[in-house]
Amino acid sequence: MVNNKKRKLLDTEAVTSCLHLRGTSESAVLACHNRTAKNEEKWSVGTFWRRVSQYYAPLRKCYSRCKLQGSRGSELDFWVADIRTMLQEVVAKSSEWCSFLQAVLATTATLHVVLYHDECTAGNILNPQKKLKATMWYLSFKEFRSVFARENAWLPVAMLQHRVADAVLGGVSAATVKVLQHILQAGNCRDGFDLNMGAHDAQYRVHLAPTSFFLADHDAQRATYCNKGSSGYKPCLWCANVLKRDAPEASTASGSFVDICESRFSSFQIASDAEIFAAADHLATIAKAGERATMEKAYGVNFVPGSLLQDAEARQLMPPSGACNDVLHAYFCNGVASWEVGLAMRELQSISDLDALRYIVYSSSIKKPGHRTFKSYVGLHQKKLVNDSSRFQIAVLPRLLNVTLRESQEYGLLLAPELQKPLRAASSELRAFAGDPELQSGKALRLGTLLIRPQDVIMWDAKAAQVLECFRGRSGFCVLTLRLQLLQKKAWGSVWQITDRRTLLPLSPSADIDVPTFTKRVGMTISCLH
């Protein structure tokens, strides 16, 4: 006699374990299982999809249905994360997130939101009808700075297909307003909320800071703040007096303005939030389209009803002063690094021998780009819902969150530190000083996203030191340093005096350590750009 109750329990476990197969759709899981299973062990279609629905139900509860105003007067569904419910589910399902958040909340009860959004294209990028193309919003916290480089430190909070965003009054900017208003509502900031974490369900009170930081590439900045970029006289959102090269000559001749070729940093003036808001408000008062277009070009900002800058309250939640360039897109793509690649390609164009070109390609191990924008192909697996935006959002978002939590649990948030080869035993004096006979010295120390090498400067808690050697021993990783004494603070960084005080400084992956962007030593002083 078959125990049906036990059979159902086993089926539930089997189904949920198969849902953890990376890159595999639920339909493929069902088909593969039934193709290989015995008749009495096959899953019925109805039972399988009920198990799938039950599995994702807690994750679906992490998102709330909001409404966006359509440009034609209609309302459109927009699913946004409920930050309280999401964080509770996150710490319950990922011990890595739980332990890291516990460590953060042990030092502060206030979390500073960092919002990020970018466009994603799934499927064939050459398809002219990109129904899967969407803008994805992710969230992390400033207190998670040491793990920002880990993809799984960012939680998916919202998504919107481009074809839907085009029908929204204010577009992506208006959707960003809704995300900010929903997450930074007064109950989350002023009142706060409780999270139960750890083995004993210890209760932690959490408050969100009332303003958000914004990490974005230039396209995302333009979509959010509606700045014109290179099509305006003032291409940079933050610069008050930097103009493009073909701006009217009378402007640069006045002495107040400089063009983008200016190399003296001291000539740049930063535009305050108040000045940017005043420009946006002025555009709203101009009735004539021609006059407004002229002022838009001068201000470098477009007038878009419903956008962030046109909402006097919402723009305080994420002012331009809280925005930061995404280094990947601002530096490596169409930035300094891409110019270097361009120069290299110009050299390649001089190669007339195809065999030589083929050799270069093979020796460089060039790989074609993958277009798996949605994690684990989640977007592609839900393409049957692509014409129903609301159902597509609430199908994709819980699955993205599920992948994030699974991979954070599997791979962790912190990158394991690594002492790079060649390794050798530390000197007998240092082994005796550290009380560690197994102390080893290495070429460099990989700590999180940092690569620390001898002669590098490291900075922490308004302190600095120059690294002499990197070590690994029984108690972990450490560096031998010469401590530095602060001489001057500059707009571009700081100047330090080298002392003769040597210190063996222990380092851990969670240490809040910085390495300056650039350093220059002159005599016994070191100038640091940071």
Helix (H) or strand (E) holding 31: helix 26-36
Percent residues over pLDDT 90 in the chain: 47
Q: What is the mean pLDDT of residues 488-511?
A: 88
Residue 179 has pLDDT above 60, yes or no: yes
Write the DSSP symbol of residue 268: -
Strands 323-325 and 213-216: parallel
pLDDT tens-digit series, residues 85-128: 999 999 999 999 999 999 999 999 999 999 999 888 766 655 65
CA distance 100 to 155: 14
pLDDT at residue 360 in the model = 66
* pTM score over 0.85: no
pLDDT at residue 334 in the model = 63
DSSP 177-193: HHHHHHHT-HIIIII-E
DSSP 131-184: TT-EEEEEEEEGGGGGGTTSGGGSEEEEEEEHHHHTTBTTHHHHHHHHHHHHHT
Other CB atoms within 10 A of residue 349 CB: 8
pLDDT tens-digit series, residues 258-310: 888 777 878 888 999 999 999 999 999 999 999 999 999 989 999 999 999 99
Q: pLDDT averaged over the chain?
A: 85
pLDDT at residue 180 in the model = 97
Q: Of the ranges 66-80, 199-213, 323-337, which one carries the lowest mean pLDDT score?
A: 323-337
Question: Can the peptide bond before residue 398 be classed as cis, meaning omega within 30 degrees of 0?
Answer: no
CA distance 308 to 175: 9
